[in-house]
A and B are shown apart, each in its own frame.
Chain A
Amino acid sequence: MSNYRKCHTFYWTVFFLVFFSGSQAVSQEGGVLTLGEAVMCEEIKGRKPVNKTIVFSIAARRAICFTSFSKVPDKVIIFHNWYKYDKLIAKVRLRLQPPQWSSFSSIPLKEKDKGPWRVEVIDPKGELLRVLRFSVTD
């Protein structure tokens, strides 16, 4: 897990407009944190997800989980928890800052990673905001 975090996971936060308001959570300062978009994709270009997919070939080299929030009242910490089957593989800590934020985390793909995966998006209070399911294949 730590290898994924140290070597292959990085997080990057950008401001941009909110398209859709889905899940909501209360921030550390009491505001409501609303999850807009959450998708799996192959690339991020211009701060937007490219080639949204639920099947990653290991030839793609990495899988990205992209999340964007429409309301970020204060600085908050969210988590992307990566599971293969039901085993937690990586827990990625992401920092969000107002007014609007998106963030992503990624894992490198190797031969041994083939199989069904899921990413759980967790708010600062540990509430599950969304689950994204995908497979790593040949």
Chain B
Amino acid sequence: MEYITSHIITMRWQDVVDIILVGYILLRFYVLFRGTAVFRGIVGLALLWIFQRIPQSLGLVVTSWAVQGIITVAAFIIIVVYRNELRSVLQARNFKNILWGGVHRSEKTPVEIIAGCAFELSGKRPGALIVFPGTNDLEDVVQGGIPWEGLVTREMIASIFWRDNPVHDGAAIIQGDRITKVGVILPLSRREDLPSRYGTRHRAAAGLCEATDALAVVVSEERKSVVVVKDSELHEVKGVFELEQLLRDHLGETAKPIKRRVNEKIQIGIAALVAILFVTGIWFSFTKGLDTLIALEIPVEYMNRDPEMEIVDASVNNVGLQVGGSGALIKSIRPEQVQVKLDLSKAVAGANTYTITQDDVTLPPGAFLKMVDPKTVKVTLDVLTQKELWVQVDWVGELPRYLVMESVQVKPQKVLVIGAKQILSGISTAYTQNVSLENIFESGSLTIGLALNHPSLKVAPDSKDEIELSFVIKERDGWNWVE
């Protein structure tokens, strides 16, 4: 949960735009292709892609590679197999509709006119065969046909199936409120269980409906009947009302228009939500993959110690941190943004052991702590005290061989030092900073500061920390200048 929160906090505006854009593209795919085989193909591709991520995350290189290849091939197959559906979807809509098309798919089909007309035609020669496509493309199944694009009216239907009309033998295809094609040749069913009373027109309707999800209305002039064919079923309709109902069921117009529109909006809303969640999930999987770790060496700050006490010893001065986060964040981390602070308010004189937790580590927003080394810190505190220490000069370098430093006087001889009791108990001398012998050739004097050998020690305010030295240089006894 913390990981997800840290990722959400670090989301840039570009990431939000990224998710919204891709989510919208997915939503448009849904709006344009829902109910079609293409959409099922796209869903299949998405599932394949998810499946491909699993072996990839498990390090199964070959499997991941193979699934990736399958995805590529499947995408080509979908484009080739469903090219007609793709074309019809894209041709049916202009560019604006593709980007921002409404959810209404087509004009309402005048079901009452069609149903009434069907029963008027029954008993009259030569009957009629009307096809209402579903989501499947009919182009690969049917043959011939003449584009018509006429509005559905009682007169139009009657004229198409008038016996002197050259196209009356074929089927008429109705999409929305238009008759899109007439004189269409349908594939005949090869079923042997069809009753003998059904003629070629029935067999053609059955053949089409077996191959697609279309609905066909067969008007028989001989038996004066109206038969609705859907899938593999042939159903004789008793009246106009029943036919209207069957047509509305097929066209998805059963519900009232307002309710249907509301339902569609709910569906689109859910689809939009799913698209956003899906893309967000992909974004997380990507950003997780892009997580970077950085190793930092950070000094430990000891806070809130009792002012009467001094830190005598600490097992560590620095701790190693492994900090994780997105690559961009990790690159921008500056060491001063990372702090390790240990609260010593409850520390007692002597040894105290602390475990460094997440609460002790301050990180920039979005970064998370992966590891601390060492996890425990031992801090020894002691009471502050004062002690007088003798001052000694710390000479370095080398005098010329013919000289010796016979003596040195220091002033003051002692200094008062404040520090932890335990530290001061083992110290009797305060040393000066290094005094170089390199340029000393004769007796003289100089002033030098102290170099207390523990960071917790300091010279008392009323004691001098500048030491005056007076030294005596003499020529070495028995020095042989000839040498």
Inter-chain contacts of A51 with B (CB < 8 A): 404, 476-478
Instruction: Say whether B426 contacts A54, CB under 8 Å.
Output: no
Chain B, residues 376-399, CB within 8 Å of chain A (1/0): the string is: 000000000000001011111111
**Is B200 at the interface (CB under 8 A from chain A)?**
no
Instruction: Say whether B407 contacts A137, CB under 8 Å.
Output: no
Instruction: Say whether B437 contacts A137, CB under 8 Å.
Output: yes
> Bound state CA distance, A29 and B407, in angstroms?
36
Instruction: Say whether B398 contacts A85, CB under 8 Å.
Output: no
Residue from A50, A59, A138 within 8 A of B397 (CB atoms)? A138
Instruction: Say whether B396 contacts A138, CB under 8 Å.
Output: yes
Inter-chain contacts of B398 with A (CB < 8 A): 57, 137-138
Chain A, residues 80-117, CB within 8 Å of chain B (1/0): the string is: 00000110000000000000000000000000001110
**Is A135 at the interface (CB under 8 A from chain B)?**
yes
Instruction: Say whether A118 contacts B477, CB under 8 Å.
Output: no
Residue from A50, A114, A115, A131 within 8 A of B390 (CB atoms)? A131
Instruction: Say whether A85 contacts B429, CB under 8 Å.
Output: yes
A118 in contact with B429 given A51-B404, A55-B405, A137-B395 (CB within 8 Å)? yes
**Is B427 at the interface (CB under 8 A from chain A)?**
yes
**Is A123 at the interface (CB under 8 A from chain B)?**
no
- Count class of interface residues, chain B: 20 to 34
Q: How far is the CB of A137 from chain B (nearest CB, A)?
A: 5
Q: How far is the CB of A91 from chain B (nearest CB, A)?
A: 16
Inter-chain contacts of A130 with B (CB < 8 A): none
A86 in contact with B404 given A51-B476, A115-B394, A135-B394 (CB within 8 Å)? no
Chain B, residues 420-441, CB within 8 Å of chain A (1/0): the string is: 0000001111010000010000
Chain B, residues 14-31, CB within 8 Å of chain A (1/0): the string is: 000000000000000000
Inter-chain contacts of A42 with B (CB < 8 A): 404
**Is A53 at the interface (CB under 8 A from chain B)?**
yes
A53 in contact with B393 given A86-B427, A116-B429 (CB within 8 Å)? no
**Is A5 at the interface (CB under 8 A from chain B)?**
no
Query: Which residues of B (229-273) have their CB < 8 Å from a CB of A?
Result: none
Residue of B nearest to A114 (CB): B396
> Bound state CA distance, A133 and B471, in angstroms?
13
A55 in contact with B437 given A86-B427, A137-B395, A138-B396 (CB within 8 Å)? yes
Residue of B nearest to A120 (CB): B428
Inter-chain contacts of A55 with B (CB < 8 A): 395, 399, 404-405, 437
**Is A52 at the interface (CB under 8 A from chain B)?**
yes
> Bound state CA distance, A86 and B427, in angstroms?
6
Residue from B392, B397, B428 within 8 A of A137 (CB atoms)? B397
> Bound state CA distance, A137 and B403, in angstroms?
14
A50 in contact with B399 given A55-B405, A86-B429, A116-B431 (CB within 8 Å)? no
> Bound state CA distance, A33 and B361, in angstroms?
64
Residue from B405, B426, B431, B453 within 8 A of A53 (CB atoms)? B405
Q: How far is the CB of B432 from chain A (nearest CB, A)?
A: 9
> Bound state CA distance, A135 and B427, in angstroms?
18
> Bound state CA distance, A115 and B429, in angstroms?
13
Instruction: Say whether B477 contacts A133, CB under 8 Å.
Output: no
> Bound state CA distance, A131 and B429, in angstroms?
11
Chain A, residues 57-76, CB within 8 Å of chain B (1/0): the string is: 10100000000000000000
Instruction: Say whether B437 contacts A118, CB under 8 Å.
Output: no
Residue of A nearest to B393 (CB): A135
Inter-chain contacts of A59 with B (CB < 8 A): 401
**Is B406 at the interface (CB under 8 A from chain A)?**
yes
Q: How far is the CB of B420 from chain A (nearest CB, A)?
A: 15
> Bound state CA distance, A85 and B430, in angstroms?
9
Inter-chain contacts of A85 with B (CB < 8 A): 429, 431, 453
> Bound state CA distance, A85 and B389, in angstroms?
12
Inter-chain contacts of A53 with B (CB < 8 A): 404-406
Instruction: Say whether A116 contacts B392, CB under 8 Å.
Output: yes
> Bound state CA distance, A57 and B476, in angstroms?
13
Inter-chain contacts of A114 with B (CB < 8 A): 396
> Bound state CA distance, A52 and B397, in angstroms?
18
> Bound state CA distance, A131 and B273, in angstroms?
87
> Bound state CA distance, A57 and B253, in angstroms?
110
**Is B92 at the interface (CB under 8 A from chain A)?**
no
> Bound state CA distance, A57 and B395, in angstroms?
10
**Is B295 at the interface (CB under 8 A from chain A)?**
no
Beyond A52-B407, A85-B429, A86-B428: 12 further Cβ-contacts under 8 Å?
A42-B404, A51-B404, A51-B478, A52-B404, A53-B404, A53-B405, A54-B408, A55-B437, A59-B401, A85-B453, A116-B429, A116-B431
Which A residues lie at the B interface, using CB under 8 A? Answer: 42, 50-55, 57, 59, 85-86, 114-116, 118, 131, 133, 135, 137-138
Sample of 28 A–B contacts (CB below 8 Å): A42-B404, A50-B478, A51-B404, A51-B477, A51-B478, A53-B404, A53-B405, A54-B395, A54-B405, A54-B406, A54-B408, A55-B395, A55-B399, A55-B404, A55-B405, A57-B399, A85-B429, A86-B428, A114-B396, A118-B392, A131-B390, A133-B390, A133-B392, A133-B393, A133-B429, A135-B394, A137-B395, A138-B398
Return the 5 tightest CB-CB contacts between A and B, nearest first: A135-B395, A138-B398, A53-B404, A55-B405, A133-B392
